[in-house]
Amino acid sequence: MGLTSTPSDLLPGTLELLILKTLVSGARHGYGIVEHLRLASDDVLRVGESALYPALQRLLLNGWVKAEWGTSENNRRARYYTLTTRGRKQLAAERAEFDRMVGAIQQVLGTT
Amino acid sequence: MTTIFRRLRYFLGRSRHDADLREEIEAHRALRQDALERDGLAPEDAAHASRRALGNVALAVDDARDVWTIRTVDSLWQDVRAALRGLRKSPGFALVAIGTLALGIGANTALFSIFSTLILRPLPVRDPGSLALLTNGSWSYPIWEEIRVRDNLFDGAFAWAGQSFDLSPGGQSDPVDGAYVSGRLFDVLGVTAIRGRMIGPADDGGAAPSFGAAQDAPSASRGADGLVAVISHRLWRQRFAGASDVVGRQLTVQRVPFTIVGVMPPGFFGPDVGRMTDVMLPFAAEPRIRGQESRLARKGSWWLQIMVRLKPGHGIEQANAALRVAQPQITEGATRTLEPLTLVSAATGRSSLRRQFETPLFAMVVAVGLVLLVACANIASLLLARALARRRELSVRLALGGSRWRIARLLFIESLIVAVTGAGLGLVFASWSSALLVQQLSTWESTVSLDLALDWRVLAFTAALACLSAITAGVAPVLGLKSVTAGEALKDAGRGIAGDRRFGVRSTLVVAQIAVSLVLVVAAGLFLRTFASLNRLPLGFVPEPLLVAELNLQASGGPAEERGPRVERLRDAAAAVPGVRSASVAAEQLLTGGGWASSLVGVGDGPMSPTRPFLWLNATTPGWFETMGMPLRSGRDFEAGDRVGSRLVAIVNEAFVRRFLPGEQPIGQDVRLGTRRGDTVGTRYEIVGVVGDAVYTTPREGMLATMYVPVAQRPPETFWETVLLTINAAPGRRAAVERDVAAALTRVDPTIAFTFGTFDQLVEATVTQERLIAMLSSFFGGLALLLAAVGLYGVVAHAVRARQTEIGLRMALGADPSSIVRLVFQRVGVLIAAGLAFGLAGSLWAARFVEALLFQLEARDPVTFGGAVAVLAAVGLLAAWMPARRAAGLDPATVLREG
């Protein structure tokens, strides 16, 4: 895995899942999401803007998150994303699906 | 569903959305820069590094934006660009196709905009839907007074009477369309002035009762501002150059000075559609203009129109019921029995033109629709030819995996672009040609003025036409595409020998074009023959040297008793002008379709019997028959001795003798004319002469029984308000004589108002409608013929080119050129024959719809039908002959070598 994980490296839909999970703890702006993912994965997941913003737009389009302009901790205007109720449901569903997939993959890898 | 909604919202707020995204990404970069600075980097390095880490912002924005758009939209745009490129590559095709459609759509739009303005468009006033017109016919002022005092039955009521007003201070008339209006007209219509004020109830206060006798003391009939007038926006612009101080200026109407108090808003033309009411005066001003002959108190003058506004929530039925309850009081003392008063919706105003032009307009709308159909067939054929010529390319596309749907769409978009461009140009053509058409409707007697603005109806109609044409023209090439298979054209490589099957669709189109063209050519033939036979009708007089001056004796005041001598002086003045061979006076304008008539006639001492058709009447001075070129058959003309007090005499025409005195000697017989029903005595006239027949109403109605009486025997107190000074001018000097007579009239009588015209204009005016129909249908027929010829030529030329190899082979094997021509003609002959057969069937069926518009002609006139078939066959064969000739001239060696 390279320094920056692009969507093609992850399973389809994984980035969206990770973003939804990140937002469970509260509203964050784009940079905050990237930083959270980097720290939480011990610098493994470095998400580039070219992947992050299309993913955020997809989430907006589906109505799973909503965006609002606000002020960041160091007084910059930034756009904050929050989870919607539908987003929360989607997170649960996708998480179950992801677990199923990962389980299946490990099962395949486990057999020799 | 919600995603679609969000996409739509995104689409509408595209630019803001993009800006948000850009700002957001910039904020992202700034936050990273902050972080890097916190890690100890110098601010500049941090800015640099953060920008590097961000990568390509534009690309990120593009990617993010793509989430919202649908791929199809994008590929559609690609197709549009490809189609535009394709059209630019063959400008000849694009020009012909777009030009054809522009003509077709333009002609349709032009006719529709007239149709829409005259028949569909609501009046440009407040809530036109609640207006209702009192039918049927016209009303007298006393009846209006009764309705006015009851206007609480409605949400207001108003009356108006259209008039021609002379704005000239003297001499040659300067007529404009105007109207007398009641005080609440503008208030009820909800029309407000753009300058000054409109006429209000105060200007029209108590007009009729106060009128009484004295014409020079009508202070009660004036409003606070004296005699007031309001003018139209157009008049303000044209006569006053839009002067800002127009309010308060003087305007001479029928020789009486009025004060302009306001200007009507642009677009408001009055309650009459087709008539631009330029000057409006309150009814109270009518006695000032007409003096003792004022019609306000007359119960027998039917000259106004009445409109009401229905109360909110009230239907026509309720209003009618309320009106009929009051009917006995309203119509008390009316001079004729009245049917129950009936209101009809007047959302679109009132127009006398509607009935006259409805049928011809409808016929023309159908004709022009058919032309568009032929035009579409042509474009379809052209597009199809293009599609077939591109078979190689299309076949390669299919072989490379292009979907059939996508290619069909590409072809369809091409026809859509042609249609939209054609429609755009068509709109330009329409706005020009519809104004020209409306001009053709005007005659000397009446000016037609329609405000042909391109409203949403017209635009929607044009857009619908463009879509329809795109579909009609676009379906054929898509159908033709079915014969293209992947890779097939590559194998074939244009070396096919027999390529006929592929032209199936185009052949069908050509057959349809010929059929529709035949229908249009037949219609054009019928209308042209109608027009020609109307023009060939005998008039009974010689119009070429004649000049008519309508003298308005009323406009310049003076009691009726003075009019007779005044006319005498004016006639003498005109007769003395050099170049005038004779001058005489008649009371009635001929060729207007109406006139002065009697419906109760007795011959000798026989009973008075109602006559239908009427006996037409005219009054003339001695010498009038000679001036007109009407021969005196027997007896004498009127002479100086026929005066008031002498025995009443009359001259009749031959049609009169045929009808009332068949086989008898008319001279010396008596004719009695009744005035009222139940009149058994009547007024007795002695016949002193018989003249040749002449047209009285219109040439179409032919020679009607007519009786002439002397002008000089008219009782002075009822002398006519207008008479017609008829002048026979020396050949070629009509224009000079008109000028000199005008000067002579003004010299003798400086206040006289007059208008010049000629009998040619009057004759022309009786066939306005027929001339217009003949003109339009010939134009459309010719256009369809041309389009069909081009279509046929295209198909034959294409077929010949596709069968080049086969033809070359035949010639190499010994076929001579004439047999090649025969070969081509055999196929073309089938197409033409089939088209003519369908066209004939269609024409025979459609002929009955135009029957009402024809004159002295069977709707299935065999000469017209035969002629039309011959014309089409000739044009068709000519169109086929050129490519056939080329085929016969092919050099077999070259063809076979080059494939």
Q: What pLDDT does B407 receive?
A: 77
The closest CB to that of B24, out of A30, A35, A63, belongs to A30
Alpha carbons A43 and B624: distance in angstroms, whole number:
117
Is residue B295 within 8 A of residue B303, CB to CB? The reply is yes
Which helix or strand (DSSP H or E) is residue A81 part of?
strand A77-83
pLDDT band with cut points at 50, 70 and 90 for residue B69: low
Side chain identity at B540, as an amino acid letter?
G
Number of structural domains chain B divides into: 5
Q: What pLDDT does B835 receive?
A: 93
Q: Does A15 touch chain B (CB under 8 A)?
A: no
What is the per-residue pLDDT across B336-349, written as a single tens digit (0 to 9) for each?
A: 667 788 898 888 88
How much of chain B, in percent, has pLDDT values that exceed 90? Answer: 29
Q: Does B5 touch chain A (CB under 8 A)?
A: no
In a domain, A86, yes or no: yes
| CB contact (8 A) between residue A56 and residue B65 | no
Alpha carbons B794 and B334: distance in angstroms, whole number:
71
pLDDT band with cut points at 50, 70 and 90 for residue B483: low
Q: Count of residues for chain B?
A: 899
pLDDT band with cut points at 50, 70 and 90 for residue B591: confident
What's A49's domain CATH number? 1.10.10.10
Q: What pLDDT does B494 receive?
A: 47
* Cα B496 from chain centre: 53
What is the per-residue pLDDT across B433-442, written as a single tens digit (0 to 9) for each?
A: 888 888 877 7
Side chain identity at B186, as an amino acid letter?
F
Q: Count of residues for chain A?
A: 112
Alpha carbons B890 and B809: distance in angstroms, whole number:
11
In a domain, A9, yes or no: no
Distances (CA, A) of B811 to B580, B739, B822, B833: 78, 76, 13, 28
Predicted confidence (pLDDT) at residue A8 exceeds the cutoff of 80: no
Q: Is residue B10 located within the same domain as residue B93? A: no
| CB contact (8 A) between residue B31 and residue A76 | yes
Q: Does A78 touch chain B (CB under 8 A)?
A: yes
Return the residue of B nearest to A29 by Cα: B28
The closest CB to that of A31, out of B2, B20, B28, belongs to B28
pLDDT band with cut points at 50, 70 and 90 for residue B220: very low
| CB contact (8 A) between residue A77 and residue B65 | no
Mean pLDDT, rounded, for B206-223: 42
Q: What pLDDT does B582 receive?
A: 94
Determine the distance in angstroms separating the CA of B409 from the nearest CA of chain A, rounded to an integer: 29
Q: Is residue B62 located within the same domain as residue B75? A: no
Q: Is residue B400 located within the same domain as residue B290? A: no
What residue numbers bound the domain in which A84 lies? Answer: 14-110
- B30 contact residues in A (CB cutoff 8 A): 76
Angle at A107 between CA A101 and CA A112, to 5 degrees: 145
Q: Is residue B554 located within the same domain as residue B484? A: no
Q: Is residue B329 located within the same domain as residue B277? A: yes
**Residue among B1, B67, B69 with most chain A CBs within 10 A, to mutate:** B67
Question: Helix or strand or coil: residue B812?
Answer: helix
Q: What pLDDT does B212 receive?
A: 38
pLDDT band with cut points at 50, 70 and 90 for residue B552: confident
Alpha carbons B642 and B98: distance in angstroms, whole number:
72
Q: Is residue B748 located within the same domain as residue B599? A: yes
Q: Does B14 touch chain A (CB under 8 A)?
A: no
What is the per-residue pLDDT across B797-842, written as a single tens digit (0 to 9) for each?
A: 877 877 788 888 888 888 888 888 888 888 888 889 999 999 999 9
In a domain, A58, yes or no: yes
Cα torsion angle, B109, B114, B120, B122, sign: positive
Q: Is residue B306 located within the same domain as residue B430? A: no
Largest CA distance in chain A: 55
Predicted confidence (pLDDT) at residue B396 exceeds the cutoff of 70: yes
In this structure, of B515-519, B714-718, B891-895, the range with the lowest mean pLDDT score is B891-895
Predicted confidence (pLDDT) at residue B491 exceeds the cutoff of 70: no
| CB contact (8 A) between residue B28 and residue A29 | yes
Q: Is residue B520 located within the same domain as residue B555? A: no
Distances (CA, A) of B688 to B378, B661, B704: 69, 14, 19
Mean pLDDT, rounded, for B47-58: 75
In this structure, of B270-284, B385-399, B472-486, the range with the lowest mean pLDDT score is B472-486
Question: What pairing do the DSSP bridges indicate for beta strands B256-263 and B228-231?
Answer: parallel
Alpha carbons B803 and B499: distance in angstroms, whole number:
6
Alpha carbons A21 and B106: distance in angstroms, whole number:
62
Q: Is residue B78 located within the same domain as residue B12? A: no
Q: Which tokens sit at B229? A: 């007038």
Mean pLDDT, rounded, for B373-400: 78
**Residue among B6, B25, B31, B70 with most chain A CBs within 10 A, to mutate:** B31
In this structure, of A95-99, B94-98, B525-529, the range with the lowest mean pLDDT score is B94-98
Mean pLDDT, rounded, for B430-458: 79
Alpha carbons B203 and B183: distance in angstroms, whole number:
6
pLDDT band with cut points at 50, 70 and 90 for residue B753: confident
Number of structural domains chain A divides into: 1
Determine the distance in angstroms separating the CA of A30 from the nearest CA of chain B, rounded to an integer: 7
pLDDT band with cut points at 50, 70 and 90 for residue B638: very high
Determine the distance in angstroms separating the CA of B74 from the nearest CA of chain A, rounded to an integer: 18
Q: Is residue B667 located within the same domain as residue B694? A: yes
For chain B, helix (H) and strand (E) counts, in that order, are: 28, 22
Average pLDDT of the residues of chain B: 84
Q: Which tokens sit at B364? A: 């023309």
Mean pLDDT, rounded, for B679-693: 91
Number of other CB atoms surrounding residue A94 within 10 Å: 17
Predicted confidence (pLDDT) at residue B727 exceeds the cutoff of 90: yes
Determine the distance in angstroms separating the CA of A61 from the nearest CA of chain B, rounded to an integer: 6
In a domain, A1, yes or no: no
Q: Is residue B617 located within the same domain as residue B765? A: no
In a domain, A5, yes or no: no
Domain boundary among B717, B743, B760: B760
Mean pLDDT, rounded, for B29-58: 81
The closest CB to that of A62, out of B3, B55, B64, belongs to B3
Predicted confidence (pLDDT) at residue A3 exceeds the cutoff of 50: no
Q: Does A76 touch chain B (CB under 8 A)?
A: yes
In a domain, A83, yes or no: yes
- B5 contact residues in A (CB cutoff 8 A): none
Question: Helix or strand or coil: residue A68?
Answer: strand
Alpha carbons B899 and B893: distance in angstroms, whole number:
10
Q: What pLDDT does A12 receive?
A: 67
Predicted confidence (pLDDT) at residue A22 exceeds the cutoff of 60: yes
User: What is the interface pTM, i.e. ipTM, of the complex?
Assistant: 0.82
Q: Which of B91-105, B612-626, B822-836 has the highest mean pLDDT?
A: B612-626
How much of chain B, in percent, has pLDDT values that exceed 70? Answer: 91
Determine the distance in angstroms separating the CA of B57 from the nearest CA of chain A, rounded to an integer: 8
| CB contact (8 A) between residue B56 and residue A53 | no
Return the residue of A nearest to B20 by Cα: A79
Closest C-alpha among B137, B105, B684, B161 to residue B433: B105
Q: What pLDDT does B508 receive?
A: 84
In a domain, A81, yes or no: yes
Q: What pLDDT does A5 receive?
A: 43
Predicted confidence (pLDDT) at residue B43 exceeds the cutoff of 70: yes
Q: What pLDDT does B492 receive?
A: 53
Q: Is residue B657 located within the same domain as residue B739? A: yes
Predicted confidence (pLDDT) at residue B216 exceeds the cutoff of 50: no
In this structure, of A73-82, B72-81, B453-462, B500-509, the range with the lowest mean pLDDT score is B500-509
The string of DSSP codes covering B518-564 is: HHHHHHHHHHHHHHHHHHHS--SS--TTEEEEEEESSTT---GGGHH
Alpha carbons B76 and B71: distance in angstroms, whole number:
9
Is residue B869 within 8 A of residue B832, CB to CB? The reply is no
What residue numbers bound the domain in which B711 lies? Answer: 546-760
The closest CB to that of A61, out of B3, B28, B32, belongs to B3
Question: Helix or strand or coil: residue B279?
Answer: strand
What is the per-residue pLDDT across B272-287, written as a single tens digit (0 to 9) for each?
A: 888 889 999 999 998 8
The closest CB to that of A63, out of B6, B55, B67, belongs to B6
Q: What pLDDT does B217 receive?
A: 38
| CB contact (8 A) between residue B31 and residue A31 | yes
Alpha carbons B33 and B51: distance in angstroms, whole number:
8
Helix axes B43-54 and B14-38, enclosed angle (nearest 10)? 130
Look at B670 and B476; give whichever has higher pLDDT: B670
pLDDT band with cut points at 50, 70 and 90 for residue B484: low
Q: What pLDDT does B604 receive?
A: 87
Q: Does B19 touch chain A (CB under 8 A)?
A: no
Look at B787 and B188; give whichever has higher pLDDT: B188
Predicted confidence (pLDDT) at residue B241 exceeds the cutoff of 50: yes
Mean pLDDT, rounded, for B703-716: 93
Residues 54..113 of B with a Cβ closer than 8 Å to A: which? 54-56, 59-61, 63-68
